[in-house]
Every structure is written in C-alpha cells, then in structure tokens.
Amino acid sequence: MIDLHSHTWFSDGLLSPHNLIQRAAGLGIKELAITDHDSVAAHRHLTEQDIPDDMRVIAGVEISTLWDNREIHIVGLFIDIENVQLSALLQRQQAKRRQRAQDIGLKLEKAGITGLESYLAELPCEAISRNHIADFLIAHGHASSKQQAFSKHLGKRGRFHSSADWCSISEAVATIKAARGIAVVAHPDRYKLNRVKLRRLLAEFNEAGGDALEVSYSNLHPDKMKNLADLCCELDMWASVGSDFHTPHTTWMDLGRVRKLPAHCETRALWLHPHWPATAS
Ligand code: AMP
Ligand code: MN
Ligand code: MN
Ligand code: MN
C-alpha cells in the first residue's frame, strides 16, 4: 500500500515521525510520504532506525500558496531537503505562519481570550497552523469542534480571521523542481472551485512545470474521484493518492484509507512517473 500525503507534529499532525511510521507499518504501508505544511523538519529528525526495512519514507512537503485569493496546497515529493532555495522558501512561509498566529493572538486578546502565545510555545511543531489555534479555541471552550472553530473564528468569514501572503503556485512548483522533486496539487475538490476555475488553476500549474493531481484521498466521493481522474487524462497529468492523515482520532482519514485509482487512470499512477525513484530492494 502507498500513501503520498501525511502529517506529523512538526506541522499540525498529532504523531511524532517515529510514531507515524510505526502506525503506517502496522497498516501495511510500504511507501509513505511525510508532507508537513511548509516544513521538512520531520525528515531531518528521522534516522535509519525509525524506518522498517520493507518501507520507504518519501521526503515530502505541503506548501501553502495563494491563487485567485484562495489557499491552494501544493505537495512536493522526493525533494532534496537540503536544497537552499527550498529551505529559504520554507523559512519565509514559516515566518508568515508565525506572523499570522500573532495577528490572530492580538484579535483574540481584544476579545478577552488570552494565552494563545504560551499555548503555541509548548507545541513541538515547526510550522504553526490554524489547526493548532482551533485546538486552543476548543480547549478554552470557544468552539465545540474543529469545523466550528474554522467556520466561526478562523475561516475566511471567521471573526478572528487573518490571512497570510503565501507564495504563488508557480513559485512553489519552481522551488520543488529546484529541489528535484515531483509537484502535486493536493485535494483539488476542497477549494470550492467551479470546473472552469479548477481547469484554469491546473493549466497554470502545468505551465509552471507541475506533474500531478491528487485523484484519490480520504472521504472523496467516488463520483468526484472519477471527475478528477477524467481531468487527469484530459490534461495529461499524473495521478496521486494520499490520505492527508493528521491524527488517529479522525478514523475516516487514516493512513492508506483511500480508494484505488479508477481503472481508466491506472496508467497515470504517480509511481509510474519516469522520475519516480526505484526502491532499493
Ligand atoms: P493553515 O495551513 O495553518 O491555514 O491550517 C489549515 C489546516 O487546518 C489544514 O491543513 C487542515 O488540517 C485544517 N483545517 C482547515 N480547515 C478545516 C476545517 N474546516 N475543519 C477542520 N480542519 C480544518
Ligand atoms: Mn493540516
Ligand atoms: Mn492540505
Ligand atoms: Mn495535508
């Protein structure tokens, strides 16, 4: 089994890299990409002892970008985590994350909600996420669920919303390419784009040198998966598969819990990409 999208506690996942890999191994996953938001710290912390003999851990990242005033996530796989251009971009993105958290913290204080800064300071993450701030709001009784924390407080129409000036899609793709990686548009149906806009986005992504589209991921309706597979064929793109695992508590988003690619795009599976490195064994 293969899972090309997952998170550790270096961004907004719950598990350490070691525990994520242990869980993946238990679920029979042989190829696991760790793709934290704007961070490759998990990969810097891994040692050979962390990785079972029959598993490959793929160096990955999920970069936040801005396109048409929306946040679009671009996954990079098989990246060189030492690449200086990549490191510089991730540093800038993390600084934007810290700035946004500070802005939100100030807005919260004005509403009488204190303690965000010290809450965040205790976390093991390198990339601060709104997901963490949602946890803080829930822990302090200001939201009853993640969904509500986003819709009431942190999302575009939320009262504590603060935006970040993420890099462009073309900059993310160029940087992934500079780091010799493969670039993938993450979870394309989560951006609330109509078909025309999605096509425009993918055309720009392809123009920038992007490779693939996530076609199968957690909780994606089979009809929607088929549409994405059709798009993949039409636009001559590769098809990726990933759970976007964050925490064992969200059981429908567990590692490897994704549908097989539809038959008509099996030949486009990303692991058949000419730049997909062969496994050692
Ligand atoms: P950020 O990258 O800091 O803007 O945070 C976005 C992260 O928050 C995503 O990667 C998800 O893990 C999580 N997230 C975003 N929207 C929601 C939502 N409506 N409900 C639950 N989690 C969400
Ligand atoms: Mn996340
Ligand atoms: Mn994402
Ligand atoms: Mn993700």
The answer to whether 261 and 226 are in contact (CB under 8 A) is no
Ligand 1 site-directed mutation target among 9, 130, 150, most atoms within 8 Å of CB: 130
Q: Which helix (H) or strand (E) holds 278?
A: none
* Model confidence pLDDT, tens digit, residues 134-166: 999 999 999 999 999 999 999 999 999 999 999
Tokens at residue 133, please? 């701030």
- Residue 281 scores a pLDDT above 70: no
pLDDT at 32: 98
| For range 241-267, the mean pLDDT | 96
Which atom of ligand 1 is closest in space to residue 131's alpha carbon?
8
Write down the pTM of the prediction.
Answer: 0.98
| For range 48-74, the mean pLDDT | 97
C-beta contacts of 200-206 below 8 A and 24+ residues apart: 201/67, 201/68, 201/72, 201/169, 202/231, 202/235, 202/237, 203/235, 204/67, 204/169, 204/170, 205/74, 205/169, 205/173, 206/235, 206/237
Q: Which helix (H) or strand (E) holds 78?
A: none
Residue closest by Cα to atom 15 of ligand 1: 131
For ligand 1, which residues put their CB under 6 angstroms from it? 12, 37, 64, 129-131, 146-147, 150, 246
* Model confidence pLDDT, tens digit, residues 221-242: 999 999 999 999 999 999 999 9
| For range 39-61, the mean pLDDT | 97
Percent pLDDT > 70 in the chain is: 99
| For range 250-263, the mean pLDDT | 95
Mean pLDDT (the chain) is: 97
Q: In this structure, how many other beta carbons lie within 10 angstroms of the beta carbon of residue 236?
A: 8
pLDDT at 183: 98
C-alpha of residue 281 to centroid of ligand 3, in Å: 31
Percent pLDDT > 90 in the chain is: 98
Backbone φ and ψ for 177, nearest 5 degrees, come out as -65, -40
- What protein residues have CB closer than 5 angstroms to ion ligand 3? 73, 186
Give the end-to-end CA distance of the chain in Å, rounded to a whole number.
16
The answer to whether 214 and 250 are in contact (CB under 8 A) is no
Pairing mode of beta strands 56-67, 70-77: antiparallel
Residue closest by Cα to atom 12 of ligand 1: 131
pLDDT at 129: 98
pLDDT at 268: 98
C-alpha of residue 6 to centroid of ligand 4, in Å: 6
* Model confidence pLDDT, tens digit, residues 64-93: 999 999 999 999 999 999 999 999 999 999
pLDDT at 279: 85
Closest CA to 31 of 217, 259, 270: 270
